[in-house]
A and B are shown apart, each in its own frame.
Chain A
Amino acid sequence: MSEKDLRDELKAAPEPLLPIEKKLIGWSLGLGVVLLIALGLVNRLLPAP
């Protein structure tokens, strides 16, 4: 990939987000936040020795 190709490619018109991408982002973030809260609570209940 030449430098010019790369610059052109990075300036290309954006691809719209597909529904599956939105689902991936949503599930990943949602699961992450829920697990964060759940594991954070478990962590509080089971303090380190």
Chain B
Amino acid sequence: MSRSEIVAAAAPREGFVTEDGLAVAIGLAVFALALAAFAGRDWLGWVITTAVWTDPAKALAPLSKAYGALGGAGSLDATFVILLLALTAGAAALGRAAGRFAAAFSAVFVIAYASWFLGSWAHFAAVTPADQAKFGIGWSLKLTNEGGYIVALVVGLVIANFFPRFAGWLNEAIRPELYIKIAIVILGAFVAVTAAGKLTLASSLLLRGLAAIVEAYLIYWAVVYYVARRWFGFSREWAAPLASGISICGVAAAIATGGAIRARPQVPVLVSSLVVVFAVVEVLVLPWIAQTYLSHEPLVAAAWLGLAVKTDGAAVAAGGIAESLILAQNAAEGVKYQAGWILGVTATVKVFIDVFIGVWAFILAYIWTNYINPAPAERARVGEIWARLPKFILGFVATFAIGLALALTQAPPGLAKLTSAVGEANGFRVIFFLLTFFSIGVLSNFLALWREGLAKLAAVYLVALFGFVIWVGLMISWLFFAGVKPPLAS
């Protein structure tokens, strides 16, 4: 989330829709268009997809063979133009400058997709010896085809730290929270179709995720708040948003807490800047640690990333990378798990965390307005729980519920159509993930953060995150998910 985006989230809205409302509208539109498959219509098959390549001319293609005539370049152009039109209209509805957004988004899309293309090069993406033999190559970084996310993130980091003026020009279209919220709404249907095949296991995972989150809220927040207040001497106004940002869910939680305790708007904004930077570090490190140490406990890894990585974008993105790495590692050892379960658990844990942000903000508002800064006119009302609920979650719930209902009621031919439709929607989910990764990178100007005097805040974050949050998250994930495995691929 860019500084301007954070300020916009903390301030009254300028346009006639909120970012959450826009994310739900776009996500549901993609899902609805995909469902046209039930009527024998293929309305999204033109979306671009990139295969792992050694010959770049053969890498790009439309997702559906029905649109094969478009070719790779035609599909890429169509995807770009449709996204440009839809998101520019969305930016205008948010009250942003449409022209500036369109220009910046064009550059963002080109750079991000070029990164994805590069990440799909066989020397980066091929994982198994069989893959290497197939492509006729002697070495590979084994990043999987989702290594393109990391390439996009690194390119974004380079732009942020070495070309800050260009990063500033891109800023209008650097909206990672919008992109990831759209992706999460689309992801709801994908998770539903995946879960429908093993409903008992999926229900069990939901309950385990819920238990893990309650623990994380109660334990994380208290400890981080204590550390910030007693060890680092922060005031209550700084410590509460900081504790929420570090322990719960980054930007959304910091802003909700800032509002709940009636902090000055700039406090959660500065905390949020810090959250985004640390989220980048986590995305660059934790999926590989998960692959190295938790590949035999894939769902422990999934829940751990959901609990440890802050901001929705970074957490779900880390889950996506970890899924690719862990599935590839297991496949190399002869165990083929179904795709979707690791990412599904990470996303579900993160969505549950978001659901509780409103409840936690209400508890803090009640304590602050009644005991710490008593102000009868500003007393917290139960309505704050709804007001502070991130509404894009409703989109995730809707696509999940519709997807699950359809999956459970369809005969095999209908189920095949549904799977294909969700696959096409998933093509857009990949692109919105990619835009999220690149945007997070562009936001992460480490030098600027240091210059702004946030070193002390960063120290709390460092101590809390790497000294406590990550390890407690791992322990809780292990407690609730150890021994629970994704179904094997048939």
Contacts and interface: CB of A to CB of B under 8 A. Distances in A.
Does A pair with B? yes
A45 interface: no
Interface string B364-387: 000100011000000000000000
Contacts of A3: 451-453
Given A3-B453, A10-B456, A17 B229 contact: yes
A32 B451 contact: no
Nearest to A26: B222
Nearest to A31: B218
A26 B223 CA distance: 10
Nearest to A14: B233
A49 B200 contact: yes
Contacts of B208: 43, 48
A32 B453 contact: no
Contacts of B205: 48
B240 to A, nearest CB: 10
B69 interface: no
B476 A29 contact: no
A15 B219 contact: no
Contact of A39 (B215, B233, B270, B454): B215
A27 B136 CA distance: 61
Interface in B185-225: 200-201, 204-205, 208, 211, 214-215, 217-219, 221-223, 225
A29 B372 contact: no
Given A21-B372, A43-B479, A32 B456 contact: no
Interface in A20-48: 20-21, 24-26, 28-29, 31-33, 35-36, 39-40, 42-43, 47-48
Query: Which of B225, B264, B483 has most A Cβ within 10 Å?
Result: B225
Interface string B293-326: 0000000000000000000000000000000000
Contact of A47 (B215, B233, B452, B483): B483
A32 B222 contact: yes
B266 interface: yes
Given A32-B215, A36-B215, A10 B204 contact: no
B7 to A, nearest CB: 12
Question: What does DSSP make chain A's interface, helix, strand, loop or mixed?
Answer: helix
A47 B484 CA distance: 9
Given A20-B372, A24-B222, A36-B219, A6 B452 contact: yes
B345 to A, nearest CB: 12
A1 B229 contact: no
Nearest to A8: B453
Contacts of A9: 235
Contacts of A28: 218-219, 221-222
Contacts of B270: 1, 6
A43 B235 contact: no
A29 B222 contact: yes
Given A10-B234, A48-B201, A20 B371 contact: yes
B238 interface: yes
A31 B220 CA distance: 12
A10 B458 CA distance: 12
Interface in B440-471: 451-454, 456-457
B229 A24 contact: no
A1 B484 contact: no
A48 B484 contact: yes
A49 B264 CA distance: 49
B201 A49 contact: yes
Nearest 10 interchain pairs by C-beta: A32-B218, A14-B233, A28-B222, A32-B219, A7-B453, A29-B222, A48-B484, A20-B371, A39-B211, A48-B204
8 contacts: A7-B453, A10-B234, A14-B235, A17-B229, A21-B229, A29-B219, A35-B215, A36-B476
